[in-house]
Each structure stands twice: as C-alpha cells, then as structure tokens.
Amino acid sequence: MMPMVYTVYGFAIFFMIAWVCLWLIHIMALSYSKWKLHRTVDRSPPETPYPGVTILKPLTGTDLNLFSNLETFFTLDYPTYEICFCVETEHDAAVVVVNTLLHKYPHVDARLFTGGKHVGVNPKINNLQPGYLAAKYPLILISDAGIRMRDDTLLDMVQHMREDVAIVHQMPFAWDAEGFAAVYEKVFFGTAQARMYLGADLLGINCHTGMSSLVRRCALEEAGGLQAFADYLAEDYFMAKAVMAAGWKMRVSSLPALQNTGARSVGGLQARLARWARLRIAMVPTTALLEPLTECMPLGAGAAWAAGHLFNAEPLPFFLVHVLVWFLSDWLMLRSVQNGSPPFTKVQFLLGWVWSECCAPFVLAAALISPEISWRTRSYRLDWGGHAHELKPLKTDPVAFRI
C-alpha cells in the first residue's frame, strides 16, 4: 500500500507544480505582451542607412485575398527593398496575380521566378531557392502568401535587428474577418499560441515560426544556406536552431503577423494545427507527454484532482475557478495582442474559446494517431528528429494547402 500512496502523492505534486508553472507563464506572457507588442515604430531618419531587404514570397495557387495581401508589400514604408515572387510552375494561377501587380507598381523592384529548384524534400524551400540565390540584399524576409503587412511592419522588424541578432520574426496572429472560423482562428492565435510564443521568447526558447521571418543572409550562409534545411518540413525551427547554435540571437518583433487566407474553415484550421503538432512530436517527442499540460481543461482536471489529495480541496469548485480565471486571462491576452477590443462580441469570444480549448486535446490525439503529414498536394512521413520523406502526391486542390 505504501508504494501506491507515494505514487499517488508523487503524481499529485507533479500536477500542482505543472499548474503553478503554467500560471507563472500566464503572468509572464501577459506582462511581456504589454511591454513588447504594438510599440510605436520610429519613422525618423536613422544615423546610418537601413540595410536593403530581399522579400521572398512563396506562392502556390490563389484565393480571394491573395491580390490584396501581396499588394501590401508594394506599399511598404521602407527605403530599400526588393520582392522576389517564387511560383512552382509558370501555369500557376498566382502568376496572373503577380503580373498584374508588377504592371500596377512598375516603380517597385519586384521579380517573378517560376519553376523552383529541387534541393530537398521541402517544397517551400525548393520553390524559394531561385529567388534566394538571386537576392541582392543582406537581409532576407521570408513571408508566406497569406500574410498581410502594415506599411511600417518591415521597418519595425529591421529596427529589432541588433548587431547580435540574426532572426527577427513576427508572432502569428490573424487579420480581422467574419464568421465563426475567423473567431476560432483569432482566439487560438491570440490566446494559447500567443501565451506560449511570448513565454518562449522571454525565456530564450526556440519558438521560430517562419511565416514572416527576417534573417541575416550571412548567418544563414554560415549554416549552409537555405538548402541546408530542405530535408525538414519544419525548416523554420531547424534554421533558428542552427543560427542560435552559432551564437546569434533571435527576437520577436512588436507587430504580430496578420494571416489573411481567403478560405477560412474550422476543419482547415484544425488540420493545420494537427500538422504542426505532428511536426513538434517528431522534433521533440516529449511534446506528446507534456503538451496536454499546457491546455486549460486537462491541466485543470489534473490540478483539481491533485488539490483534493494534497489539500483536501473540493475538486469541482477548484476546476471551475481555474477555468474561469484562465478564461479571463485569455480575454486580457487577446486584447493585448489585438491592441484593443477584438472584432466580435464577448459571447462570440466565449463560444470560440470553449471550442478552441475543448478541441485542443483531440487535435493532439489526431496527430498521435495519424503521424502522416499532408501538406499542399503531397504527403510525408517524419523520422524522429524531423527529417522528412515524401510518400505520394495527394489528389487535392493545391489552394487548400497553400502556405
């Protein structure tokens, strides 16, 4: 009996420590967001000229928002930059959109590259390789097709690029849109994702997400260039890992990345989150054990059980208070990331939050049950450590998997 009692109390202590640690992360992330995000961008002329930036845009297919998203890159308030649009084939629908913008903004230094160059398994890197090799400037901004930019975003990112910093990336968020899928997307990226992202940045943990990332080309070349990461699907994580191992630092900019894909759906977002979970599990297997403890419902249930054993607390009231305070904390976090009230009511936030929190354990379970990764029109298998192997093409509309 005694070993069993010790085991129960051991698990109870473990859950309480995890619960306290997560609440410390809540407090740190919320406080950090108030200081870090949406700081005023300095538009005054610098003492030394800003370095030139090459913007690499990987494109596959088109949607209702692609034209307006890409147009924001032609109107950036930054002195010296070029845009390299990279499209897999010359018959892709995105080519028409790019050519229309090139004609509309002839004064902007922008070029179109088609065909890609095969250097590994990762289709994004294969697509980007010609643009990367032709880049003229020392800073490289890799920006996915669905990203929408404020005119001062690039300036903000460059101002975070200190002498010892090699990567400045934007925290993922979402552009305002209508519908429950848009609420779900904004709630997830503005609460659970933002909390862990800001906490990781504050603690110096690799949280690099490559949807909008400014990189020193010299640091990338030291690591072997863009093609050195072509055998990984999570090229952003391994890129940051290699750059930080060389002694460089990484920073999050003050303006979040505004994702604005044309086709929003609940199922599409959940498939995307499951794909990310599969990547995390392959890269860091302990994710499968520890990640559930970062979610409100599993952690609250475990902590309520632990509080009952350790402190004779009533589990149900403990759990309900835990959920309520977590909910209020997430509302404050979302307002901080949004820089004001979100574009939906508190009732809509409640529905989106409950859906997001309740679905999170099932998304992780789906990633564990089906480890095969579907990305764009292809499917992959991952080895432990993150190396990818392509299996067979999927018969799916490539727009659905456009980055």
Active site residues: 236
Residues facing residue 141 across a β-bridge: 55, 214
Strands 257-259, 172-174: pairing is parallel
Per the listing, tokens 């990331």 go with 337
Measured between alpha carbons, how far is residue 355 from residues 173, 261, 330, 337 in Å?
A: 18, 21, 14, 20
Residues 6 or more apart whose CB falls under 8 angstroms from that of 378 comprise 123, 390, 391, 392, 393, 394
Find out whether 88 and 115 touch, Cβ atoms under 8 Å.
Answer: yes
One-character DSSP codes across 205-265: -----TTEEEEEHHHHHHTT-GGGGTTBS-HHHHHHHHHHHTT-EEEE-SS-EEE--S---
User: Cα torsion at 86, 88, 94, 96 (round to 10°)?
Assistant: 90
Tell me the two tokens of residue 20.
């306290």
Rg (CA), the chain: 22
Measured from the Cβ of residue 389, the count of other Cβ atoms closer than 10 Å reads 10
Residue count of the chain: 403
One-character DSSP codes across 105-169: -TTS-EEEEES----SS-HHHHHHHHHHHT--SSEEEEE-TTEE--TTHHHHHHHT--TTEEEEE
